[in-house]
Every structure is written in structure tokens, then in C-alpha cells.
Chain A
Amino acid sequence: MYSKTNLSRFAAGALAAASLLASTAAFAGEVTVWCWDPNFNVAIMKEAAARYSAKHPETTFNIVDFAKADVEQKLQTALSSGTTDALPDIVLIEDYGAQKYLQSFPGAFAELSSKVDFSGFAPYKVQLMTMDGAVYGMPFDSGVTGLYYRKDYLEQAGFKPEDMQDLTWDRFIEIGKQVEAKTGKKMLGLDVNDAGFVRILMQSAGGWYFDKDGNLSIENNAALKAALETEQKILQANIHKPAAGWTEWVATFTSGDVATVTTGVWITGTVKAQADQSGKWGVAPIPKLNVEGASHASNLGGSSWYVTASSAEKDEAIDFLNEVYAKDVDFYQKILTERGAVGSLMAARNGPAYSEADAFFGGEKVWQNFSDWLAKVPAVNYGVFTNEVDTAVTAHLPSLGQGAPIDDVLKAVDSQAQGQIQ
């Protein structure tokens, strides 16, 4: 083992010396990557690796597939114990948790600001991996949101696709009542044990559980308050089909029981999997909250790549990410077509896959639309404790349906969140 490492170090050194003479740099190490989901992140990373290896045959990749919680557990253990040689060269981190790792383990991840041109990416995506003005990751998939709606149900209720543009949530609820009266279908599926819907609404108005400086912001958070009010109105108007858990929630629209879905773009594949519903769906920008800073763009989920600062193959790993994820427009067409992955490199929209009209959505150019909205997603500070506060919010969501005053709910969330953070 040791002789091999020394040999590869020697080789790398020799090549580095040679590259001083030649103009192109060459690397010769194995880049280890940890990520989750064999059909999504793993498959996409393999595609990226194949593209890089084609041009740099001396670079090999070892892409290791663990469950998401497992990647987090391993990363946490290796970083907490200071055992840097147990770390991979590149690791996938969910965006909501990015600041937690960056701030808890300063110096553990390589700064990429000077090596990558971040102006080409969706701004919100760059913001979430920025700490003290420096950028630490390579933006990857986006969860830019859209309002997917059943054209057939809405038409029966008397609404055309034009009527679905530029909505407010109040208007959305009115439409929902009409839809139920005319078609007997509910307007949306809602799981009151999941705060995803609240997060979408909150971020659409530029708010989060934390302010721009990362301090907990619950009680005087206008965006969060408006988001909770909206969920309460929906619950009280009873235009939702209740769902317990993710699979049940997915079934609300795959079964054709609801007229709309408001979520991240990554749901597109699941929507389109129902071939018999082809031509019946449309996608509009999500409705707007009635507060200052409100917009029609938001995000749910998404993750990004990070290079560990202690990695022996650090420069190689950065060069790889930069060459494929920050420049290769064709790569983004391929992962969109094959895996339904929407990246956050804005230039990707100029490629053929993004320009295509989708027959499933009645010939709409949905990817161009999503790309437009992607650029407009408000940047927020996900802070260190998003998951903890999310748990506190989730715990109090069911009380909304029973008519609890929003200010009381905010107070309860605030005290629980304070308790969890300290």
C-alpha cells in the first residue's frame, strides 16, 4: 500500500514537474467520490467521470455508493475524529446541510472561488455554499419549483392555462374550490407531517428559518408567517387530499386524484411515468405569497459537490469538477434526458435537450421555463440548523388544521427550535 502511494505521489510530482515545461497540466491519481442514489447522483457522476477520463486517461475514478444518511454519518465521523485520510476526495452534500458542514469544520473543504467561474450558475445555488465571501462547492442539481396542473380537470372547472399564470395563493384556493365543485377532485395532495410545502412558500418570498446573518428568525419572520397562513387556509378550505408520508403523497397525483402538484422539478420524471396522463399536464410558475419580496420562484431540495481540503488529489478533483460541471453544456443535456436532472449551470439552457418541446406537457417548452425560474430563485441563508428547525415546524403543522392562531404556532416553534439548537 505504502509503496503504491509513494509511487503515485512520485508520478504526480514528476508529472507536475513535466507540466511546468508543457502547457497542459496532467494528473495521475484516483479520485474517490461518495454520493447516494445509484440511479441519480451515482449514475450522473459516472457519466461525468467517463467524460473527464476520455480526455485525461491517466485519471481514474472510484465512485462509492452509500445511502444519503450513511454519507452524512461517515462524513461526520471522519471530520469529528480528525481522521482526514478516511475522507473521500469529493463528497455530495445536501444543500440544506451545506452551511452546517462548512461552519462546523472550517478548513475541511477546499475553497473554489479562485478556480471556478461561479457567475455562470444560478445565484441562489452559489449563495448557499458561500462562507465569509468564499465559495466552497460545485453547484449540482436544483430543486427549482413549478406548479404542475391537470389541464383537463381545470378546463372542466372553467379555467384555461392562461388562468394558471401569475397566481396568488388566495386565487389558487378559490380555483381549488371551483375545481372540487365541478370535478369532485381535490386541488392538491398535502402531508401535514412534512414541512416541504412551507419551505417552498417561505423561500419564494426570500425568507428562511434564519436571517441573512444566520440567526434564528421565527417569530418576526413575515415569509414564514405567510407560508403557515397559506397552509392553514388550504387546510381549512379542505381543498387538499391528506397524505401520510412520501409514497402516499406521490400517489395523490399519480392516481389522478388531485389537480395540481407544487414541488421541485425533480418530480417531472414521476409525473411523466404515468403515460396515460400524457398531454393532460401543464406547468406554471408557483403562486405568490402576499408579502414583501414575494416571487413566483422557489426551490425544494438539491445537493452539491464538495472537495475535501486534505485530499491528495485535490487539484485533480477541482479540475475535474470545473471541466465537466462548470463548462460542459452537452453533459447537462445528457443528464437531463437520461436522468431528469436539472443542473444549476445557466448556460445549459442553450442546449438541445433544454430547448425541446415536451409532448407530455402538450408541447410546452417546460425546461426553458424551469430554467427561467431557476435564475430567479431567491437566495437565502440555509444556516446551520435547518433540519432541527424543520423538525420543530413539522411538529406544529397539524395544529394549523385545528385553527390554531399563527402567532401562537410561531411562538411554539420558536421555543422548540431554540431548545433544539442549544
Chain B
Amino acid sequence: MNVSRLATTVLQYVFLGTAAFLSIFPFIWMVISSTNKSIDIISGRTGIGDAFGINVANFFSQVDVPLVFWNSVKVSVLATLLTIVVSSLAGYGFEMFRSKARDRIYALVLLTLMVPFAALMIPLFMMMARSGLINTHIAIMLPTIASAFIIFYFRQSTKAFQTELRDAAKVDGLKEWQIFLYIYVPVMRSTYAAAFVIVFMTNWNNYLWPLIVLQSNETKTITLVVSSLASAYYPDYGVVMIGTILATLPTLLVFFVMQRQFVQGMLGSVK
């Protein structure tokens, strides 16, 4: 290994190390801060303190943690499963069935990606209000289920699905729904896993729409609770940090559990 190659490698590692540190720093700081008193957090203390127990106790006394968590889990898991079922069927359909109108409809679906949510918010709110769904968890889930991005993702991934498999299954006499369920789904497992991670994170962190729709303390999700804690005139940052940690944990868990499939799924979609 000559000197210039060694220098390049060192530079690469320095760059990667810096980037990794910058990415991970907010997490480290969040964890460190959760052990400090609010006043120490404000003054920028970077050492580990002894207030972790107090912060946790305060958080649990101010927030109905099991209820809030149950709300978030219920909404995120249900919405994620529904999104994946609906959007993967759509992605499969768009790729498998040829018709003249196919790409025009597909373009229309993709076009909805360009409409910002702020523009949809008020009409959606009126729809939900007229259907009597305000302050229900169904109202949070409904608008997210047909996700243009996930349909796009499934269609792109389906291009890598070998059509010979479908043809063979047809010869064997399988119906279309059987092909989808028994052949497509198992083959595309890693795509599903990646989609699950993406959709779950989006739903778990969803903020604006639940905020508009939910009206009572009993229906609130964790993101709303943390936001309300953080906006006090004198927020207890120790308590806020405990809230952010608890709000981050599930997405981290889901990601780490599915990391391998996620990476495979992302690779698969490039083909």
C-alpha cells in the first residue's frame, strides 16, 4: 500500500467518522441530558448527572404513559399494516397488468406526491368532520393508507419479480390472489420489511394530522404529548428528554430488528 492510497483511506475514515459522530450526537446528547436537571441541560452540561430517576418519575406522573403508548402503537401498527396491504396490491397491479390507461393512472397517483399536506389539510378535516370521525384514531389512519410513495416503491421492486414465476403458477392453475399471496409475498419479503420500516416510522412520527384531528387527552399520541411538554413557558427539559427517548425507542427497535431485510429491500428496489 503506497502513501497516497494510505492517505486516501485515512481521509475516508476521518470523513466517515465525523459524519457518523454528527449523526449520532443528538442521540447521545439526548441520553446524557435525560440524566440531568433542566437547569443543567440549559447551561449545556455534557456530563452524566444523577437526575435520571427524578426525570422518569416526573414524566410518569405528568403523562399517562400506558395510554399514550397504546394510542401510538395502535395507530402506527394498524395504519402500517393497512398501508402495506393496500399499496403492495396496487404496486403489484400496476406492474403486472398491462393496459393503455395504466401509465396515465400511475402518473396521476405519483402526481399526488407533489401536493403538500398543508393544502389537503382543511378539505380532509371537513371530510372527517362530516363523517363524524373527528377525535377518532380511524381519522388519523384513513388518509395515509393509499400512500403514493409506497405504491411507487412496490411497483419499482416488482420489476425485479420474475414474471416466469407468475406464468408457471398460472399454468399450475393458481388464481391471481393465490399467486399474490403464496408466491409474490414470500418472494418479496425483504421489500415488505423495508416498506414496514419506512411506513411505521412515518406513522409513529406523524404529527400535524393527528394534532388537527385529535381533540382530547385520552386519544393523544406520544408526539403530541412531547410537543405539549416542550412548549411550556419553562419546560422541564429533563422530562422532555425522557419523552423523546421513549418516543424514539420503538422506531429504533423496529429498525434494528429489520435492519438486514431493510438493506436488502432497498438494494432490491434499485434493480
Q: Return chain B residues, CB-CB under 8 Å to A83.
A: 125-126, 129, 134
Encoded as 1 (CB less than 8 Å from any B CB) or 0, chain A from 53 to 92 comes to 0000000001011111110011001101111011010000
Contact A70 B227 (CB under 8 A): yes
Tell me whether A270 is interfacial, beta carbon within 8 Å: yes
Tell me whether A40 is interfacial, beta carbon within 8 Å: yes
| Residue of B whose beta carbon sits closest to that of A273 | B39
Which of B217, B229, B233: most chain A CB closer than 10 A?
B233
Residues of A in contact, count (CB < 8 Å): 35
| Residue of B whose beta carbon sits closest to that of A87 | B215
| Distance (whole angstroms) from the CB of B34 to the closest CB of chain A | 17
Q: Return chain A residues, CB-CB under 8 Å to B227.
A: 66-67, 70
Contact B231 A69 (CB under 8 A): yes
Given contacts A73-B212, A77-B121, A77-B212, contact A86 B129 (CB under 8 A): yes
Given contacts A62-B216, A65-B217, contact A251 B231 (CB under 8 A): no
Mark the stretch among A31-39, A344-352, A368-376 that contacts chain B. Answer: A31-39
Q: How far is the CA of A191 from the CA of B206 in the complex (A)?
A: 33
Q: How far is the CA of A37 from the CA of B235 in the complex (A)?
A: 8
Q: How far is the CA of A88 from the CA of B214 in the complex (A)?
A: 12
Which residue of the partner chain, among A64, A247, A266, contacts B233 with CB atoms under 8 Å? A266
Tell me whether B31 is interfacial, beta carbon within 8 Å: no
Contact B125 A77 (CB under 8 A): yes
Which residue of the partner chain, among B42, B208, B215, B228, contacts A38 with CB atoms under 8 Å? B228
Encoded as 1 (CB less than 8 Å from any B CB) or 0, chain A from 229 to 259 comes to 0000000000000000001001100110000
Tell me whether A269 is interfacial, beta carbon within 8 Å: yes
Which residue of the partner chain, among A39, A65, A85, A273, contacts B129 with CB atoms under 8 Å? A85
Q: Return chain B residues, CB-CB under 8 Å to A86.
A: 125, 129, 134, 215
Which residue of the partner chain, among A40, A70, A77, A251, contacts B42 with CB atoms under 8 Å? A251
Given contacts A83-B126, A269-B234, contact A67 B228 (CB under 8 A): yes
Which of B134, B217, B228, B229: most chain A CB closer than 10 A?
B228
Tell me whether B224 is interfacial, beta carbon within 8 Å: yes
13 residue pairs bridging A and B, Cβ less than 8 Å apart = A1-B132, A37-B231, A38-B229, A38-B232, A40-B233, A64-B215, A67-B228, A69-B231, A70-B211, A80-B122, A85-B134, A86-B125, A86-B129
13 further contact pairs, Cβ within 8 A, besides A37-B232, A255-B43? A36-B228, A36-B231, A66-B224, A67-B230, A68-B231, A69-B231, A73-B212, A77-B125, A77-B212, A81-B126, A81-B129, A82-B126, A83-B129
